[in-house]
């Protein structure tokens, strides 16, 4: 699937704001290395940060990052990447910083500006780029979270549009660059057998779990400003819901996909406090830079309704949290049992029946659970999974894919303004009037109240990390 518009001009430089930060160290330098390895990067890369580094310190940081977080570290590729790096040290509030960026860009006239910085600095940097004339023919790549509520998202969109045209604004969500997430869209619409059953008549419920075995890992200050609802649910999991629930696009173009995803988000009912369970793991308040009386959630479980012709009455259950038993992401689409119990065991006692399972991480697979007869005279059977696909090795990292796409002007895998604002509108009531957080033990699947939320539909199905 591709857009029908003319091929845009590629960026002739990449400016990385926040190049000394944790995101650049863990994700961006390895992505740049992969782009260089695959022939996708041969233009200047200007790192910008407040750290008083020189170019050798930046290159040293890049080498260390690639050695620790890259898939490989080939000296020949490093010899191509490191000379592309340049560095500007400065304060984002100082116009002289942006003048120095202009000088570092040299002859480049179509830079892509990547804001790998705290969200509070997005408006400052965007306005600074506009004031220095660095937005002309340029692109801006904005990290999540895009706003922290509906009002701030609208304001940030307004500021970005004042400086950059719509098609030059790339709102990055690395989840959308994952192979397993892209395959949800492909699997749904490349196969005809799903369409007759992909609706309220045959789907009983949908569960989506994104679990992390680790805690906040020294990012207490960030988590105090975000929490699980803003950090994971409003963006990552809502995007997965949109891909699963959207109608077929009207034409072969990603603008049609974005339109249908936005329609799903607009059809979601606004969350009310009783639709959401917020949890906080025991010991979170002892983390560095976390308030001793913090009410920030490290876990969320919620029940969604989509008021559309296809999905009316089907509950969608989403959950995500830290310090859970495993690091794993999975979607389970539970199908309704056969309308008549022809065989004694065709409707299992636990209420489960056939389901479709998208295992998203740590590995990728798609499986269909179906009942098959056991050998012998008796008509009894068991439910088995039929594995449909497994992830191939050596695929691009999400950040490599997304950075390369943004620099080439391909907006397919990026969140759009309409979807972002619609998603914030869904969660706004529970941001304004949340129930208090419920405690849960590290290593558990969250607070007991989350089980009550889904009890009517058979409870949570806890995924396994192995495919």
Q: How confident is the model at residue 112 (pLDDT cuts 50, 70, 90)?
A: very high
Is the model's pLDDT at 293 over the cut of 90? yes
Do 237 and 210 meet the contact criterion of CB atoms below 8 Å apart?
A: yes
| Residues near 428 by beta carbon (within 8 Å), at least 6 away in sequence | 149, 150, 270
Cα(32)–Cα(444) distance, rounded to whole angstroms?
Answer: 37
- pLDDT, tens digit (0-9, with 9 covering 90-100), for 134-170: 999 999 999 887 889 999 999 999 999 999 999 999 9
Q: How confident is the model at residue 348 (pLDDT cuts 50, 70, 90)?
A: low
Is the model's pLDDT at 443 over the cut of 90? yes
Q: How confident is the model at residue 1 (pLDDT cuts 50, 70, 90)?
A: low
Do 351 and 262 meet the contact criterion of CB atoms below 8 Å apart?
A: no
Torsional class of 318: left (φ above 0), alpha (ψ -120 to 50), beta (otherwise)? beta
pLDDT, mean of residues 85-91: 96
Is the model's pLDDT at 416 over the cut of 50? yes
- pLDDT, tens digit (0-9, with 9 covering 90-100), for 13-65: 999 999 999 899 999 999 999 999 999 999 999 999 999 999 999 999 999 99
Residue 435 falls in the annotated catalytic set: no
- pLDDT, tens digit (0-9, with 9 covering 90-100), for 356-404: 999 998 888 999 988 887 787 777 777 888 887 766 555 668 899 999 9
* Average of per-residue pLDDT values in the chain: 90
Q: Give the Å distances, CA to CA, from 103 to 2, 46, 112, 113, 333.
A: 36, 11, 15, 15, 54
Supply the pLDDT for residue 4: 46
- pLDDT, tens digit (0-9, with 9 covering 90-100), for 253-273: 778 888 999 999 999 999 999
Supply the pLDDT for residue 219: 84
Higher-confidence residue: 131 or 341? 131
Is the model's pLDDT at 351 over the cut of 80? no
pLDDT, mean of residues 272-300: 96
How does strand 169-171 pair with strand 203-211? unpaired
Q: Give the Å distances, CA to CA, from 250 to 109, 185, 255, 260, 416.
A: 36, 14, 10, 9, 18
H helices within 254-317, ranges in order? Answer: 254-267
b/e per residue 426-454 (b: at least 16 CB within 10 A): bbbbbbeebeebbebeeebbbbeebeebb
Q: How confident is the model at residue 193 (pLDDT cuts 50, 70, 90)?
A: very high
Q: What is the phi/psi pair of residue 338, to 5°?
A: -55, 150
- Residue 396 carries which DSSP code? P
Taken as a whole, the chain contains a residue count of: 467
Cα(203)–Cα(207) distance, rounded to whole angstroms?
Answer: 11
H helices within 254-305, ranges in order? Answer: 254-267
Supply the pLDDT for residue 297: 97
Q: What is the DSSP string of 334-389?
A: EEPPPSS--STTSS-TTS---EEEEEEESS-EEEEEEEEEPSSSS--EEEEEEEEE
Instruction: Select which of 113, 174, 236, 258 is catalytic.
Output: 236
Is the model's pLDDT at 350 over the cut of 50? yes
Cα(74)–Cα(33) distance, rounded to whole angstroms?
Answer: 9
Cα dihedral across residues 310, 268, 273, 355: positive or negative: positive
Q: Mean pLDDT lowest for which of 312-316, 322-326, 363-367?
A: 363-367
- pLDDT, tens digit (0-9, with 9 covering 90-100), for 203-216: 999 999 999 999 98
Supply the pLDDT for residue 144: 81
- The neighbour count for residue 167, using CB atoms within 10 Å, is 11
Do 204 and 314 meet the contact criterion of CB atoms below 8 Å apart?
A: yes
């Amino acid at each position: 699937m591709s857009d029908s518009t003319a091929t845009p001009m590629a960026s002739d430089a990449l400016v990385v704001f926040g190049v000394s930060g944790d995101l650049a160290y863990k994700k961006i330098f390895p992505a740049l290395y992969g782009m260089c390895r695959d022939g996708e990067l041969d233009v200047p890369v200007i790192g910008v940060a407040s750290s008083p580094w020189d170019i050798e310190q930046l290159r040293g940081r890049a080498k260390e990052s690639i050695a620790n977080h890259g898939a490989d570290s080939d000296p020949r590729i490093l010899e191509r990447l490191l000379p592309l790096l340049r560095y500007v040290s400065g304060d984002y509030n100082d116009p002289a910083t942006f003048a120095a960026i202009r000088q570092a860009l040299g002859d480049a006239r179509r830079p892509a500006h990547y804001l790998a910085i705290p969200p509070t600095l997005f408006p400052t940097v965007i306005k600074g780029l506009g004031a220095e004339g660095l937005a002309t023919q340029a692109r801006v790549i904005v990290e999540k979270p895009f706003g922290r509520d509906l009002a701030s998202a609208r304001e940030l969109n307004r500021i970005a549009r004042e400086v950059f045209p719509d098609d030059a604004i790339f709102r990055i969500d690395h989840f959308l660059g994952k192979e397993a997430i892209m395959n949800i869209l492909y699997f749904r619409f490349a196969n005809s057998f799903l369409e007759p059953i992909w609706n309220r008549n045959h789907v009983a419920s949908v569960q989506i779990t994104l679990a992390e075995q680790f805690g906040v890992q020294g990012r207490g200050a960030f988590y105090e400003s975000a929490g699980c609802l803003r950090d994971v649910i409003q963006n990552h999991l809502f995007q997965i819901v949109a891909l699963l629930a959207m109608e077929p696009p009207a034409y072969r173009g990603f603008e049609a996909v974005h339109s249908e995803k936005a329609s799903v988000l607009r059809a979601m009912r606004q969350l009310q406090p009783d639709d959401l369970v917020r949890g906080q793991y025991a010991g979170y308040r002892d983390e560095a830079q976390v308030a001793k009386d913090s009410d920030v959630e490290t876990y969320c479980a919620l029940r969604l309704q989509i008021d559309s012709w296809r999905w009316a009455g089907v509950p969608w259950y989403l959950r995500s949290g830290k310090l859970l038993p495993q690091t794993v992401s999975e979607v389970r689409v539970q199908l309704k049992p056969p309308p008549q119990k022809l065989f004694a065991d065709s409707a299992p006692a636990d209420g489960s029946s056939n389901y479709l399972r998208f295992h998203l991480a740590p590995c990728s697979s798609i499986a269909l659970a179906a009942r098959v007869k056991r050998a012998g005279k008796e008509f009894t059977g068991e439910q088995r999974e039929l594995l449909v696909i497994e992830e191939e090795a050596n695929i691009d990292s999400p950040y490599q894919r997304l950075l390369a796409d943004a620099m080439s002007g391909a907006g397919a895998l990026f969140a759009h303004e309409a979807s972002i604002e619609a998603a914030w509108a869904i969660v706004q009531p529970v941001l304004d009037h949340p129930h208090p957080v419920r405690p849960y033990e590290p290593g558990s699947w969250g607070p007991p109240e989350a089980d009550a939320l889904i009890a009517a539909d058979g409870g949570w199905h806890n995924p396994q990390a192995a495919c």
